[in-house]
Chain A
């Protein structure tokens, strides 16, 4: 059974860097992996995806601030978001992009999410 678990600080100060890790178990790291966030009470927003080879794609709205990486030896994914503001307060999800349709990969396994609050 594929399991994903996000971890990291739940509180980050404005202008600092948000860092989250996602630990993958029950599956190989040889997939596409995505990060999606959801502000409290609001809808979902794609942050970006990373392929196990290291190829990445970022949402243009976050391009200048986001970095995704992975450590295949530890089956871990990482998200870094710099210069955060209150608008970055959200539940952050990692997900496996494992279901494919016409060459597009869809999030079929998700972590439970990690709430990160940006506040001084």
Chain B
């Protein structure tokens, strides 16, 4: 099973600032990496797939990059609605696995 490790666990950011979240895979997953956003009491929402492609309806302030074992999700200018937990997930091999999440909180 591929282990996904996210850092940091918590990121404190002021509205309007840039947020950079990291995700590392225990072995190469090529570009088979997705990012999800989860707000309290809600189901996850697909943000990014293929490491860098925004899902339908996702604002351009969200961008993904990376390949192999190292990936980044960047939120260019945080809006109030972006404060949430973000999960990376590898979809290279089964079982698909998620990282433990990064909580983006208001500074």
Residues of A bordering B, CB below 8 Å: 43-46, 57, 59-61, 93, 95, 99, 101-102, 104-108, 110-113
Report the minimal beta-carbon distance from B12 to chain A, rounded to whole angstroms: 19
Given the contacts A99-B55, A104-B32, A106-B34, A111 and B97 also touching, CB distance less than 8 Å: no
Segment among B19-27, B68-76, B98-106 that sits at the interface with chain A: B98-106
Decide: B91 and A43 in contact? CB cutoff 8 A.
no
Q: Which residues of chain B (25-58) have a CB below 8 Å from chain A?
A: 30-32, 34, 36, 42-46, 49-50, 53, 55-56
Is the CB–CB distance between A104 and B101 below 8 Å?
Answer: no
User: Contacts A59-B95, A101-B53, A106-B49: A43 and B34 contacting too (C-beta < 8 A)?
Assistant: no
Q: Collect the chain A residues with CB atoms within 8 Å of residue B96's CB.
A: 46
B4 CB to closest chain A CB (Å) equals 9
Q: State the Cβ distance, A65 to closest chain B Cβ, in Å.
A: 14
Instruction: Output the nearest chain B residue to A47 by Cβ-Cβ distance.
Output: B95
Whether B44 pairs with A43 at a CB distance below 8 angstroms is no
How many chain B residues touch A (CB < 8 A): the figure is: 28
Interface of B is mostly: loop
B residues near A (Cβ < 8 Å) are 1, 30-32, 34, 36, 42-46, 49-50, 53, 55-56, 87, 89, 91-92, 94-101
Nearest Cβ distance between residue A7 and chain B, in whole angstroms?
Answer: 15
Q: Is the interface of A mostly helix, strand, loop or mixed?
A: strand
* A59 to B93 CA separation, bound complex (whole angstroms): 11
30 contacts between A and B (CB under 8 A): A43-B87, A43-B100, A43-B101, A44-B44, A44-B98, A45-B98, A46-B95, A46-B98, A57-B94, A59-B95, A60-B95, A93-B43, A93-B44, A99-B55, A101-B31, A101-B32, A101-B49, A101-B53, A101-B91, A102-B32, A104-B92, A105-B91, A106-B34, A106-B49, A107-B44, A107-B46, A110-B44, A111-B43, A112-B43, A113-B43
